[in-house]
Homo-oligomer: A and B are copies of this chain.
């Protein structure tokens, strides 16, 4: 059963990857792969390995008992090995001597964690790919959907909604590349024994590692990494950046869906986003989850970084601090991309409202156009100051800036009415929006 709070923020599918059963199953996969590989390289008898492999099954483990012992002893692997050994022993006394042979708890726990993270990051990559597709569509569809661009929460100048989504897309394309690189290099086996020297195996320890990697779908590191944790930190930070990129999108959507702005809206379906008090409410619940996750992840990432400073060959606490932290990060990010797929899929874009909002300032957003047109004629600073004054007047008198400009002695002397008219045409105020959109769209095809 999921944890109540987690249902809001996690992805169900990824959450299951980190259940008690899944953790233990991943640990058993390690033990099974170890025995198999050791048999292949003549470190333990083939028959012992076969029995161990057969016994490495979650059904044979008493999880409640394991949990109790873990709590008492401060280690989740030792009671598992004890149970596994005893299961094997019941069938063959001697074979039980080869369970977990030459490995240390951290080998098992780290490798199991890597296996779980690997699956989770692959699921995240799939959702990310989906969001990217959705954003490509949105960008193409809204390439010319004009809206106001905003700086410091104030109306600035026009953009298009496609230009905005191209910005979201641009960042996610970089995250896609980052996750791709992540999957290439950071999911490696842990196998070192007590201090990383594989001293309890013979000279074929490395071959055992290679064989296990094939079995588990992991890469073989140059050496064990019991206290060199930069790969885990890399996973954490790459996901942290992805969360930031997705959080920025949710921030924009939640702001754009404010009652007064109402330019976009999360798609609506029965039973989602309502209020227990107010029947009219349609809250941006997808964005809320994403924003909440984005709020939590940075602190968790900082823990992954600070816990890199580990002592000697196996760390006194800093290692332990990683388990739930990196697990939380990956689950929160999985939740965020999951919600983002949903949000993108249902996004309602209100073009008319975007046009209406453009007019709210009565032309103030074109003040820069006029200022730039005047600059070569009356000096730049003068033009800037002149338009600051006209802007104030437009506000205080509730008059459209264009009308003010038409009648202004200096401006009307410098610019013809037709020129002034053009300066207030939003379709002529978009700069090279289109060029930038194409550059982003082409980037994806070439990557």
Contact = CB atoms under 8 A, between A and B. Distances in A.
25 contacts: A1-B63, A5-B323, A6-B324, A7-B76, A82-B381, A85-B380, A104-B277, A150-B195, A154-B283, A154-B284, A156-B278, A167-B196, A167-B228, A174-B231, A198-B431, A206-B435, A233-B241, A234-B241, A237-B237, A248-B310, A258-B260, A280-B364, A291-B321, A292-B318, A294-B308
Contacts of A40: none
A94 B223 contact: no
B301 A301 contact: yes
A266 to B, nearest CB: 10
A152 B75 CA distance: 13
At the interface, is chain A mostly helix, strand, loop or mixed? helix
Contacts of A194: 149, 151, 156-157, 275, 277-278, 368
Contacts of A390: 279
Contacts of A68: 7
A102 B371 CA distance: 11
A285 B319 CA distance: 13
Interface in A432-447: 432-433, 435-437, 439-440, 443
Chain B CB within 10 Å — which of A227, A299, A325, A394 has the most? A299
Given A152-B314, A155-B259, A317-B291, A227 B167 contact: yes
Nearest to A70: B7
Given A6-B324, A23-B4, A244-B305, A281 B170 contact: no
Contacts of A323: 5
A199 interface: yes
Contacts of A87: none
B241 A240 contact: no
How many chain copies? 4
Interface stretch (A118-126, A249-257, A411-419): A249-257
Nearest to A185: B174
Interface string A103-132: 111000000000000000000000000000
Contacts of A14: none
Contact of A279 (B3, B228, B313, B388): B388
Interface residues of A, number: 200
Nearest to A315: B152
Contact of A167 (B2, B223, B240, B275): B223
A140 interface: no
Nearest to A223: B436
A4 B168 CA distance: 32
B93 A379 contact: yes
Contact of A76 (B5, B159, B381): B5
A379 B97 contact: yes
Nearest to A273: B74
A170 B432 CA distance: 46
Given A241-B237, A295-B321, A305-B241, A149 B287 contact: no
Contact of A317 (B155, B201, B277, B295): B295
A295 B326 CA distance: 13
A285 B380 CA distance: 24
Contacts of A238: 237
Contacts of A307: 295
B321 A195 contact: no
Interface in A168-226: 168, 170-171, 174-175, 178, 193-201, 203, 205-206, 221-225
Contacts of A230: 171, 174-175, 241, 244-245
Contacts of A2: 67, 71
A425 B13 CA distance: 48
Contacts of A51: none
